[in-house]
Amino acid sequence: MAFRIECPNCQSKAVISNSNNIAKDIDQVFMKELYCRCLNIETCGCTFVVSASFSHYLNPPQQDIVAMAKAILEKEQQLKLEEGRC
């Protein structure tokens, strides 16, 4: 994941110096605390924490799309077989 961090105090660029995976024990959950520092060391230089988490897909992963299509086709075949028995 790549994004720019902006200082909440002076709106200058900031960098991530460390991170803490706060959902490491929860399967398929992305949630991190990003420890950041402002690059404007002359007038600000603050350090702060940003929370980052996964919300939802705009485009699901390719393997998920293929799995969904297979499930639909299998269900359709099963329905056709059941109709043929009646």
The pLDDT tens digits of the residues spanning 27-64 come to 777 899 999 999 999 999 999 999 998 888 887 777 77
Q: Judge if pTM exceeds 0.75.
A: no
State whether residue 74 is helix, strand or coil.
Answer: helix
What whole-number distance in Å separates Cα of residue 51 and Cα of residue 70?
A: 37
For 43: left if phi > 0, alpha if psi spans -120 to 50, otherwise beta; the answer is alpha
Q: Where are the domains of the chain?
A: 1-55, 57-86
Query: What is the number of other CB atoms lying within 10 angstroms of the CB of residue 36?
Result: 21
State whether residue 23 is helix, strand or coil.
Answer: coil
Reading the block at residue 12, the tokens are 């200058």
pLDDT level of residue 86 (50, 70, 90 thresholds): low
Check if the beta carbon of residue 34 is closer than 8 Å to that of residue 16.
yes
